[in-house]
Amino acid sequence: MARQASAERSWSAIARFYDNCKKAKSGKKGFPRFKKHQTHGSVEYKTSGWKLSEDRRYITFSDGFKAGTFKLWGTRDLHFYQLDQIKRVRVLRRADGYYVQFCLDIERIEKREPTGKTIGLDVGLTHFYTDSNGEIVENPRHLRKSEKALKRLNRRLSRTKKGSRNRDKARNRLSRKHLKVSRQRKDFAVKLARCVVQSNDLVAYEDLQVRNMVKNRKLAKSISDAAWSAFRDWLEYFGKVFGVATVAVSPHYTSQNCSNCGEVVKKSLSTRTHKCPHCGFVLDRDWNAAINILELALRTVGHTGSNASGETDLCLGEVIPPSKPTRGKRKPKA
């Protein structure tokens, strides 16, 4: 039932708020608030309250809301999955219509041929990332390219009268534009992450605290537009799917250390070229950082192995210390 899922989300929000208060979390604690009608655009069902037709082209909601029957449009073949594999059904409202999501209890594993390649990624704003091989992927800047159109639609929305039909139409046009930008950003992150994972046996990247980085008022918009966190999430997801090791290393001194001799070379953010006074090594700043990131990841992987269940940890956030023996050493007899 939809009421059960809504009650679960409400209780989880309340529990999260009290946990943050007990832990004395800095900043906002996340006080639970009721969603506005315009922003509350989803409803979730468990295994009851909905029913698929025999041809899997229609879905009927039979709970107290009496929503009725809807025809499903899409390219997914629902006959491929069993009904008992569908654990939850979500109905989402977007600016361009309504969508239904089926949450399935399946394990996705895809096979790939080993390439024997390793790569380190240094994300940035000038370029989306620079890898340890010197390859550069340009930053698409989806929001920056759409800012002119968004400002024009915002001005049209501000000129309309509150409560009028024209205001609803103007709000919908603005919402559609924002939705397009978010979909462009997601599409770029998914395709690029899948390509990187399929082409390498190990992918290393920085464990950036993006939540703290966006507090910089001058770079917040550019950092949010780059969507580093979404790219990392998809890297880790495809790493599990294809069985590729994805390693997050500490970002400290990756740009300052020389990748050739290891000495620390202090430089400001505006300095884009690494010049080592100790060994005379000259390289692009981001390329030097990507090499250091890969080197740190290779040291981390050297400490990893199989866990107790025999499975290998693929997504690693830090160096795993060597396991201690369970039995202590025998004391020598006197």
Which residues carry out catalysis? 122, 206, 286
Q: What are residue 152's phi and psi, to 5 degrees?
A: -65, -45
214 bridge partner residues: none
Report the distance separating Cα 67 and Cα 65, nearest Å. 6
Question: Residue 18 contacts by C-beta under 8 Å, 6 or more apart in sequence?
Answer: none
Residue 211: count other Cβ atoms within 10 Å of its Cβ.
Answer: 9
Report the distance separating Cα 181 and Cα 149, nearest Å. 11
The DSSP result for 70-126, as a single string, is EE--SS--GGGS-GGGEEEEEEEEETTEEEEEEEE-------------EEEEEE-SS
Element (H, E) at 56: none
166 bridge partner residues: none
92 bridge partner residues: 42, 99
Phi-psi region of 205 (alpha: psi -120 to 50; beta: other; left: phi over 0): beta
Question: Residue 60 contacts by C-beta under 8 Å, 6 or more apart in sequence?
Answer: 50, 51, 52, 53, 68, 69, 70
| Angle in degrees, 0-180, between the axes of helices 142-159 and 165-199, rounded to the nearest 10 | 170
**Residues 177, 178, 180: CA angle, nearest 5 degrees:** 65
| Angle in degrees, 0-180, between the axes of helices 228-242 and 165-199, rounded to the nearest 10 | 50
Cα-Cα end-to-end distance for the chain: 72
